[in-house]
Amino acid sequence: MEDKIDLNRLCVHTQTTKPWDLHTCIKEYHKAGIPHLSIWRHLLENQDLKLVKKALEDHQLKVTSLVRGGFFPSVSKSVRKEAIQENKKAIDEAKAIGAPLVVLVCGADPKQSLETSRSQIQEGIQNLLPYAKEANVRLAIEPLHPMYAGDKSAIVTLEQANDMAELIDDPFIGIAIDVYHLWWDNQLQKQIERCGKHNNIFAFHVCDWLSPTTDMLTDRGLMGEGSIPVREIRKWTEKAGFQGPIEVEIFSERLWGINQQDYLKQIKQAYIEHT
Amino acid sequence: MEDKIDLNRLCVHTQTTKPWDLHTCIKEYHKAGIPHLSIWRHLLENQDLKLVKKALEDHQLKVTSLVRGGFFPSVSKSVRKEAIQENKKAIDEAKAIGAPLVVLVCGADPKQSLETSRSQIQEGIQNLLPYAKEANVRLAIEPLHPMYAGDKSAIVTLEQANDMAELIDDPFIGIAIDVYHLWWDNQLQKQIERCGKHNNIFAFHVCDWLSPTTDMLTDRGLMGEGSIPVREIRKWTEKAGFQGPIEVEIFSERLWGINQQDYLKQIKQAYIEHT
């Protein structure tokens, strides 16, 4: 019973258990008593989205978000236009499976300045917003770690994400706070407070930072394995008004290599003890 | 003649041409018309430092800095004490070879908070300062990229370095600005201005950020190969009063793999065209 209560806000990203296909994720998360999941888009390819929605309902699983849209900037205007189309497709998919949110990895083009990329991100989001609102799907800017500034996101601090969200100023645009990307920032507590004040905390992602980190993409840790004060940051988000799902998003060759059912047990344990 | 003038401020770090030993660096940099170098400490092991100093003088090479001291924080008090001893040794070496500056990679211990590590860094520097002043060797805090926050530096922005240097407030403590670590920060221009105002720009390091970056340590680019607006940042430092050497510090398995004399030519070209 205690366990059940404790897992109420637990959400797992399908990419966390990458070896599993979508229907295995749905079946196994349900079996493990995990009430929420976030779905990565590539798992929806060649799927009947009505059946996906039904499978989620049958297993009492709520979709927190569809991951991921974004990638707005490019030196090429036609590539920027294609990005808008691709994002509209993501919004369609989110609507079809009942996901209330699309997470945006905003993008960057190494051939232009970060300022130019940020202005193209703003333009992209503003172009997309009417479509998102029509579909009743919200959008979350996810500031990424500065080590991804070259080609993945020109938005690398919560302050920049706050600036952008407040500039666009629409109830359908907010922010996904991921401890992995933001833990190093001594402005984090202050910026989380600000984010909450503007009702912009749309999502909260957790994992841990390992030392050494041997790969820039796929060497994340389970909460408690590394340096991030996950629980402290979670409390900051709650003080700022956030009560949504706590999303476990871990990319790890090491953890993808173990038995994924055992891994779900470890995730629940780490969620209870360190999150 | 034009070339000679242009290279006046060029400095190369010995680690940039890692395949070479110290005496090859000295001989080859001189042959290439490079007037400054920064020396990495491991190259001084088992060397007669008087002979090193003489070789530098014989080749008209000025030492910009000895790299690197620091690594102050640890959960263990005895390790912190050892760090002070090791830093004193670095100061002795700097004095012996005529280096006016020791660059500090300040350190971090993944087992404690970044705040605790920063307070231990401050304590370490303050313990070290009298010794540095006695030796007439200055110390430069080098803020590292946030991807090194886990175990290499709890100081990851120029703002934090400025805060620390201004708190310690001594003409012997300043900052090494490295574009690789700081380029992603939209506060950079403002913080360079602030750094100059307090006479705290002690050093300026250049290279470039590649996309994708395939290794967190040894995949830096030559200026012009990547996304960093090196020239623009150099101008900010000059506007803030800095006129010292421009130090090329590149760690790159790829570039260590080519003929190092050809590489020096590429460095000079990149220095002239993109720095």
Instruction: Give this prediction's pTM.
Output: 0.97
- Residues 6 or more apart whose Cβ sits within 8 Å of residue A142: A68, A70, A103, A104, A105, A106, A153, A161, A175, A176, A178, A181, A203, A205
DSSP reduced 3-state for B105: strand
Q: DSSP letter string over chain A?
A: -HHHHHTTTEEEEGGGGTTS-HHHHHHHHHHTT--EEEEEGGGGTT--HHHHHHHHHHTT-EEEEEEEEE----S-HHHHHHHHHHHHHHHHHHHHHT--EEEEE-B--TTS-HHHHHHHHHHHHHHHHHHHHHHT-EEEE-PPPGGGTTTTBS--SHHHHHHHHHHH--TTEEEEEEHHHHTT-TTHHHHHHHHHHTT-EEEEEE-B--SS---TTTB-B-TTSSS--HHHHHHHHHHTT--S-EEE---BHHHHTS-HHHHHHHHHHHHHHH-
> What are the tokens at A166?
């407040």
* Cis amide linkage into residue B118, ω under 30° from 0: no
Q: At what angle do helices A49-58 and A77-97 cross, to 10 degrees?
A: 40
Set of chain B residues whose Cβ sits within 8 Å of the Cβ of A211: 110, 150-151
Average pLDDT score over residue span A36-56:
98
Looking at residue B5, its pLDDT comes to: 57
Residue contact B113–A229, C-beta within 8 A: yes
For chain B, give every domain's residue range: 2-274
CA distance B48 to chain A (A): 35
> What are the tokens at A269?
């344990």
Set of chain B residues whose Cβ sits within 8 Å of the Cβ of A213: 147, 150, 216
Using the predicted structure, report yes or no on whether residue A4 has a pLDDT greater than 90: no
CA distance A204 to chain B (A): 20
At A1, is the pLDDT very low, low, confident or very high (cuts 50, 70, 90)?
Answer: very low
% of chain A exceeding 70 in pLDDT: 98
CA distance A26 to chain B (A): 33
Domain A2-274 top-level CATH class: alpha beta
Which of A239-267 are b and which e, b meaning 16 or more Cβ less than 10 Å from the residue's Cβ?
ebebebbbbbbbbbeebbeeebeebbeeb
Print pLDDT tens along chain B (275 aa). 444 458 999 999 999 999 999 999 999 999 999 999 999 999 999 999 999 999 999 999 999 999 999 999 999 999 999 999 999 999 999 999 999 999 999 999 999 999 999 999 999 999 999 999 999 999 999 999 999 999 999 999 999 999 999 999 999 999 999 999 999 999 999 999 999 999 999 999 999 999 999 999 999 999 999 999 999 999 999 999 999 999 999 999 999 999 999 999 999 999 999 99
Residue contact A146–B213, C-beta within 8 A: no
Interface test with B, best of A147, A158, A190 (most B CBs within 10 A): A147
Closest partner residue to B110 (CB to CB) among A147, A151, A226 is: A226
CA distance A85 to chain B (A): 25
Closest partner residue to B146 (CB to CB) among A145, A216, A229 is: A145
CA distance A231 to chain B (A): 13
Set of chain B residues whose Cβ sits within 8 Å of the Cβ of A212: 150-151
Residues of B with CB under 8 A from a CB of A: 110, 113-115, 145-147, 149-151, 156-157, 160, 183-186, 209-213, 216, 226-227, 229
Residue contact A150–B183, C-beta within 8 A: no
